Structure 1
Amino acid sequence: MNWDASIAKDIDWMGLGMVLRDEQRIVVLAAYSKTFVGNLDVLTAKARAGLIALQVCKSLGFTKIHLEGNAQGVISAINSRHPDWSSIGMLVEDFKLKLQSLQQWQLSFVRREGNQAAHTLANLASRTFMNNMWLHGPPECIVGIVQREQVTPYALNLNQ
């Protein structure tokens, strides 16, 4: 599952984008795009978006998830064994708690180039008020991006 957040400060909206694929990264199992009203800083927006994307995956019944995002600070904080006392600490600790209910999970940083589909959906949601879920294939606006992301390894594992 890839996720991202986008902020439109001029209109005080935040968009969340999520793309859930099969293990081979070929088939899009679900895509999700949602708008939130309010002006958050980038780190908080990305942490909140990741937490909501995780909740969407769990609500769809997935218990084994590999999460990828381009928010390196958020991912490092969640992967840390130490409590997070930063401005996003409560979101990070909530994220860790929700991960414990999964059968298996991995959280990896991915460069922006490998997170374009989720970013595109987040950007769309930050500019167009929406709450959309696609369950049988990706929306047309990310089909080409999804195909490019299938064949290029962008993930950098920060768990080590």
Structure 2
Amino acid sequence: MKRIDLWLDEWLKIKEGPDDYSCALFAIICWEIWKSRCQFVFEGKEVDAIGCVGRAMRMVCDFWDADNDKKRRRVSETGVERNNVDAAFCKERGKAAVGLVARDDKGGFVGGLGKKINADLVFIAESMTVMEALNSYDRIGNCEVIVETDCQVLFDKLQKKEVKGCEWGCEDILQKCISMLQARQNWHLSLVARNGNKAADLMAADAMRSMVPKGWLCEPPPSLESVLYLDVTNSHEDVGERSGIG
């Protein structure tokens, strides 16, 4: 929590200059602050700081969604792209989301996606992350793609082409993923350490909270920038046995 003058001073001193998303978010947060202030002064309505930021985030998402048709996906200049995928799932609220972060083989950000999905089970949500990556085939072209998941069970089943014994409702999704991987000769699946998949995890979590612009992202959201480097350094840690999602 900071005073608004300190927040403004820090934001205006960004050396690299804010990107378009940050500018839009900054402007709408300022507008929401002014609106909340007027409602407090003239209507006696209590200020909800968290609600103020939440409304601003939703407005930015709507703006980015309307502008999404103008965006074009960047392609990895190295000819190799790594798509980290992860899911967020809340059984109590009945909500799920997928996160995808695409990078070149040097770790440079190529693009990303965060979106809410319909999934009744954790494993369905995890399976749909791979499906989301595979559905981006037309936007990538002939680039070699490595889809990286931190779900051991999902990785094993896709590698063994095994769909029997899955949780209810998962077999069709897994079969589609297997068929699509076989049809894409330059696409591969890899198991990555959970500590090396934090960017995709955060993308999915932010999508659950409606804090990610809709559609394909050409630039990483501000919340993602701090974890991108950590993923590169932690992606080759020992994976180990685990279940569920993180």
**Cα displacement (A) at 1:54:** 1.9
Contact kept in structure 2, 1:22 and 1:28, CA below 8 Å: yes
Unpaired segments ≥5 residues, structure 1: none
Deviation of 1:62 (Å): 3.9
| Runs of 4+ in structure 1 over 4 Å off | none
Are residues 1:47 and 2:127 paired?
yes
Tell me the CA shift for residue 152 of structure 1: 3.2
Q: How many residues align?
A: 152
Conserved? CA contact 1:108–1:155, under 8 Å: no
Instruction: Give unpaired runs (5+ residues) of structure 2.
Output: 1-82, 240-246
CA distance, structure 2, for counterparts of residue 150 and residue 62 of structure 1: 24
Question: What is the Cα deviation at residue 46 of structure 1?
Answer: 0.2
Q: Could you say which structure has the larger radius of gyration?
A: 2
For 2:141 and 2:196, locate their aligned partners in 1 and report how far apart those are by CA, in whole Å. 22
Q: Give the letter for the 1:30 counterpart.
A: G
Structure-2 change in CA distance of 1:71 and 1:4 (3 Å): same
Shift of 1:78: 0.6
TM-score (ref. length: structure 2): 0.56
Partner amino acid for 1:101? A
**Greater fraction helix:** 2
How far apart, in 1, do the equivalents of 2:123 and 2:85 lie? 13
Task: Give the whole-Å Cα distance in 2 for the aligned partners of 1:129 and 1:13.
Answer: 15
Tell me what 2:97 maps to. 15
Q: CA deviation at 1:3?
A: 0.3
Change (3 A) 1:156 1:84: farther
Percent same amino acid among aligned pairs? 21
Secondary structure at 1:90 match in 2:
helix
Paired with 1:49 and 1:126, the residues of 2 have a C-alpha distance of: 14
**3-state secondary structure, aligned to 2:183:** coil
* 1:44-83 alignment, distance < 5 Å: 44-56=124-136, 58-63=137-142, 64-81=144-161, 83=162
Per-residue deviation at 1:139?
1.6
Cα distance change of structure 1 residues 141 and 129 upon mapping to structure 2, 3 Å threshold: closer
- Whichever residue aligns with residue 6 of structure 1, its letter is A
Which protein is richer in strand relative to its size? 1
Residue in structure 2 matching 1:99, options 154, 161, 181: 181
Question: What is the TM-score with the length of structure 1 in the denominator?
Answer: 0.84
Q: Which letter does structure 1 place at the counterpart of 2:163? A: D
The residue type paired with residue 124 of structure 1 is D
Task: Please report how far the alpha carbon of residue 91 of structure 1 lies from its aligned counterpart in structure 2 after TM superposition.
Answer: 1.3
Residue equivalent to 1:30:
111
1:11 is displaced (CA, Å) by: 2.7
* 1:84 and 2:163 matched: yes
User: In the alignment, is the contact (CA less than 8 A) between 1:30 and 1:138 conserved in 2?
Assistant: yes
Larger RCO (CA under 8 A, 6+ residues apart): 1
Q: Tell me, yes or no, if the aligned pair for 2:109 and 2:220 is still in contact at 8 Å.
A: yes
